[in-house]
A and B are shown apart, each in its own frame.
Chain A
Amino acid sequence: MGSVYRARDLHFPNVTKLVAVKEMINTALDPLVRQTIVQNFEREANLLATLHHPAIPKIYDYFSLESRSYLVLEFIHGKDIEAIINDASGFLLEELVLSWAIELCDVLDYLHKHKPDPIIFRDMKPSNVMINLNGEVILVDFGIAKAFQSGSKGTMIGTEGYSPPEQYRGEATPLADIYSLGATIHHALTRRDPRLEPPFSFAERPIRRINPSVSAELETIVNRALEYEPANRFKSAAEMKDALISAARKTGMLSRMANQTGPVLKSDGIKPLWSFKCEDEIRGTPAISQGILYIGSYDNNLYALDAAEGKFQWKYPADGGIVSRPVLTDGNVYFGSEDKRLHVVSARSGKVVWTYYTDGPIRSSPRIAEGHIFIGSDDNHLHAVNLTTGRLAWRFEMPDAIRSTPFVMNELVYVGCESGDYYAINFRGEMKWRFRAKRAITSSTVGMGQAIYFSSVDSALYALDPRNGWVLWRFRMGKASISSPCVVDDLVFVGAADGFIYAVEARSAKEVWRFRTEHQVNGSPVIYKDSLYCGSVDGNLYCLEYRTGRLRWKFSTDGAITGTPLVNDDVVYIGSTDHKVYALLA
């Protein structure tokens, strides 16, 4: 244990010469042990003083004072790679990491070729590599030998995320440094700290799955450095350096430093099966029944289109925009409008069956259960309306507008409100329990097994116990979310205003992957077969592999997408604020 001080060298009184003074405290009680430690320290200082490489700090002096030993060395202006990773808002540029890797191979090669004995650095990790103001790498913290602590049980505890498997056998070879360098590059490229992952699990986190912008060439090199068996790694740092340089040449990276290009997968190649243009923006979500697609528009109409060809069937004019999702049952279409009404029209003819008035615009979608329609309104009430008579059964007052869609499970209605309050209400209209988020809950609830999930404008995705409203977990996102989660295979998916689509483990709230879009994700993801479909305000509909978050394709529209896609029979339907609804092959 010890500290590093920033000190001024007073041998040069007229200028400010900064040096780093590294202090090591000798805690051994036994005098013989103490003496050995001091001797080791001095031998190491002498060794370091003979090394000459731009990536190794210069040694000026060393001394011991009572129980402390000091090393005086070059002061490095800069930042270590761990800090650089943590301070960056996104992934580091591959070119940058590649140039560091080449320089690190160079210094490792220098150390490994040291005569008479090779020097093993032993502790390659991002926090031990400084990047100085010229962008050059400098290795710091030589000679840390401590790797294990042993106890009486024979229990040893190693906490190294960058160390190779053979370190547990006490072996330190140049190949161990190569593994640790691989681990360091992996961390820098993926932002996944290996100390937070199970040991030797790099293979489970392929670089390009996390950061698809990295070239396959670099990924292959890092994988080879991280081979479990030392014999399968690069034979020397020099060999790895050659591989890195040729990868940089092959991908043209050396010549186009900092020229960022994202992965473009068939983004232009996708042609819609059909599209249909309304007279204003589409912000809502379509529904389908018996080959007919129903979708509302800001032009106040609900449209019925032939799902196969997009041919117009009929439209029904409301007196306000329709921003929600229609629901079909018993041959009727149910939907709310900003004209304050819940409309019920015949699915076949588009003729009105009945309407029900609330005292505010309706942005919530209806939920039908137990012979009732449950729908929220900006009049601060959840309305329970009899399905056949269209009469109010009861309404439940909340502190603010209700824009989320009610969810029904276990004979309870779950709904969030713009005040941040969240209620579980029984079929008699009585509150069972209440929960309060810090900001509005516009997202609609989805329930699966033991939990209900929704997100909030307070930037959290919540998992609650549906019986009593206790919070099982919260998952923090970068910004507010009004996207409604979906759950498949113990994974919860949701979008947020920070532009990401997140996949989170349902039982542990651990992030499995995140995918960055170019703007807010206000619509909701849906899963169909092994793909996730989700729109973004950047105008694209994204199709991702849902287990990995890898981009399959994206489809550009000419306006923000705020609705949720509908997938039916291998066709995706999506509305856009460019006034169009599109049908695409899933």
Chain B
Amino acid sequence: MDKFFSWLFGKRAAPTKTLDTANTAPLTEQQLQAIVANQNPHFDLQQLVSAGGQSVGKQRELNEDSLLALTSTMAGNSGNLPFGLYIVADGMGGHQFGEVASNAAIRTFAGYVIRKFHPYLFQVKTDSMDESFQEIMLAAINESQRIIQREAPGSGTTLTAALVVGQQITIAHVGDSRAYFIYPDGRIETITRDHSLVQRLQELGHITAEEAENYPHRNVLYKALGQGDILDPEIFTLAFPQPGTLMICSDGLWGVVAEQDIIRSVNEAPSLQRACQNLVTAANLAGGPDNISVVLAQLIG
């Protein structure tokens, strides 16, 4: 910012004889964008922003993915508590209602979490909450599991959910949808671990990344919502990256678009909405073999 001003005003202040006749050229689009990008806008109000993108892809008729993005701002003298909930669910089971499972998962999960938080967020005087974020996320998973087994028996779905309260992200994760942190300096960090057989075999060193690409059972999950009696989801809490972007997506994106392209799409887009569009487009250009879902969120200020 300072650089920009000193450059701007320095030029104007430069005492040259040719001042009167100097041609001022408008800044090129590239220069403008560089300036905008270099400005790190300061907001007095710390807030969450988010966007979502979805496409059925190029090779499937049915969209079995579901996504949910819920972002709220509430600020005043008593404080400012960013609150958000972001979920991607990738259903499986086709004739066994994969789309029913993923839809039931996001609604049940979000409904449960919001009901739990409602009295603490929207009542004037409350006691401290007697359940932890992680306990609420676990209970929401179990409730979703119960509803899916009732509404769409035999089907299953992945679920990757991020609850943002203040500067804490609590993740609940089952299956092979993923959550990432993407940083402005071009780093990307996968914060979830796929519950897939191929990932497991790779972790054990029994197959290489290359073999994994062509592994016959690439889609085998060893954990999915709606499946099995004992579900042991991954639940953990991390600090929201600042600056940085939280991305949650289904394998229709991460399995298709290279990480470098994902980073570029996110970091170079003028807005989160555009970034989502770019990501979905990139997956479709790469063949769009599967449903594509992506949610992006940033904590700014």
Write the residues of chain A forming the contact surface with B, with a CB cutoff of 8 angstroms: 149, 151-159, 165, 168, 193, 195-196, 198-200, 228, 434-436, 449-451, 462-463, 465, 467-474, 505, 507-509
Q: Is the pair A465, B168 in contact by a Cβ cutoff of 8 Å?
A: yes
CB distance from B274 to the nearest CB of A (A): 30
Partner of A168, one of B165, B220, B232: B220
Q: Is the pair A472, B167 in contact by a Cβ cutoff of 8 Å?
A: no
Q: Is the pair A473, B134 in contact by a Cβ cutoff of 8 Å?
A: yes
Q: Is the pair A472, B222 in contact by a Cβ cutoff of 8 Å?
A: no
Q: Is the pair B132, A472 in contact by a Cβ cutoff of 8 Å?
A: yes
Partner of A463, one of B154, B232, B237: B237
Q: Is the pair A196, B230 in contact by a Cβ cutoff of 8 Å?
A: yes
Q: Is the pair B168, A470 in contact by a Cβ cutoff of 8 Å?
A: yes
Q: Which residue of B lies closest to A200 (CB)?
A: B204
Contacts of B76-123 to chain A: CB distance below 8 A? 79, 81, 92-96, 98
In the complex with contacts A436-B127, A468-B81, A474-B132, A508-B168 CB distance below 8 A: no
Partner of A474, one of B128, B135, B165, B238: B135
Give the complex CA separation of A229 and B230 in angstroms: 27
Q: Is the pair B92, A199 in contact by a Cβ cutoff of 8 Å?
A: no
| CB neighbours of A472 from chain B (8 A) | 132-134, 168, 170, 237
CB distance from B202 to the nearest CB of A (A): 12
**Does B206 sit at the interface, judged by CB under 8 A?**
yes
Interface residues of B, count at CB 8 A: 50
Additional A-B contact list (12), CB under 8 Å, known A152-B98, A450-B167, A463-B237: A151-B155, A152-B93, A153-B92, A156-B217, A158-B220, A196-B230, A199-B197, A468-B166, A470-B129, A471-B133, A473-B133, A509-B235
Q: Is the pair B154, A149 in contact by a Cβ cutoff of 8 Å?
A: yes
Q: Is the pair B94, A198 in contact by a Cβ cutoff of 8 Å?
A: no
User: Could you give, for residues 170-191 of chain B, a 1 whenever the CB lies within 8 Å of some chain A CB and a 0 otherwise?
Assistant: 1000000000000000000000
In the complex with contacts A149-B154, A198-B200, A465-B168, A155-B235 CB distance below 8 A: no
In the complex with contacts A156-B217, A473-B135, A468-B98 CB distance below 8 A: no
Give the complex CA separation of A159 and B227 in angstroms: 8
Q: Is the pair A154, B154 in contact by a Cβ cutoff of 8 Å?
A: no
16 contacts between A and B (CB under 8 A): A151-B94, A151-B96, A155-B93, A157-B221, A168-B220, A193-B230, A196-B232, A198-B195, A200-B200, A435-B128, A450-B168, A450-B239, A465-B168, A471-B128, A472-B132, A474-B134
Give the complex CA separation of A159 and B134 in angstroms: 24
CB distance from B214 to the nearest CB of A (A): 14
Q: Is the pair B200, A199 in contact by a Cβ cutoff of 8 Å?
A: yes
Q: Is the pair A468, B93 in contact by a Cβ cutoff of 8 Å?
A: no
Give the complex CA separation of A469 and B237 in angstroms: 15
Q: Which residue of A lies closest to B193 (CB)?
A: A198
Interface of A is mostly: loop
Partner of B222, one of A149, A158, A450: A158
Give the complex CA separation of A195 and B155 in angstroms: 20
**Does B224 sit at the interface, judged by CB under 8 A?**
yes
| CB neighbours of A435 from chain B (8 A) | 128
In the complex with contacts A154-B219, A469-B128, A473-B134, A228-B204 CB distance below 8 A: yes
| CB neighbours of B127 from chain A (8 A) | 436
Partner of A471, one of B131, B155, B228, B238: B131
Which 10 residue pairs across A and B have the least CB separation, nearest first?
A152-B94, A159-B228, A508-B236, A471-B132, A151-B93, A473-B134, A507-B236, A155-B92, A155-B219, A450-B239
Give the complex CA separation of A254 and B230 in angstroms: 36
CB distance from A325 to the nearest CB of B (A): 29
| CB neighbours of B195 from chain A (8 A) | 198
In the complex with contacts A168-B197, A168-B217, A196-B232, A153-B224 CB distance below 8 A: no
Give the complex CA separation of A228 and B127 in angstroms: 52
Q: Which residue of A lies closest to B98 (CB)?
A: A151
CB distance from B169 to the nearest CB of A (A): 10
Q: Is the pair B128, A434 in contact by a Cβ cutoff of 8 Å?
A: yes
**Does B143 sit at the interface, judged by CB under 8 A?**
no
| CB neighbours of A468 from chain B (8 A) | 79, 81, 166
Give the complex CA separation of A467 and B46 in angstroms: 14
Give the complex CA separation of A435 and B154 in angstroms: 43
**Does B156 sit at the interface, judged by CB under 8 A?**
yes
Q: Is the pair A153, B166 in contact by a Cβ cutoff of 8 Å?
A: no
Q: Is the pair B156, A157 in contact by a Cβ cutoff of 8 Å?
A: yes
Q: Is the pair A151, B92 in contact by a Cβ cutoff of 8 Å?
A: yes
User: Could you give, for residues 61-79 of chain B, a 1 whenever the CB lies within 8 Å of some chain A CB and a 0 otherwise?
Assistant: 0001000000000000001
User: Could you give, for residues 194-224 of chain B, a 1 whenever the CB lies within 8 Å of some chain A CB and a 0 otherwise?
Assistant: 0101001101101000000000010111111
Give the complex CA separation of A472 and B168 in angstroms: 8
Give the complex CA separation of A198 and B236 in angstroms: 17
CB distance from B216 to the nearest CB of A (A): 9
| CB neighbours of A473 from chain B (8 A) | 132-135, 237
Partner of A157, one of B132, B167, B224, B229: B224
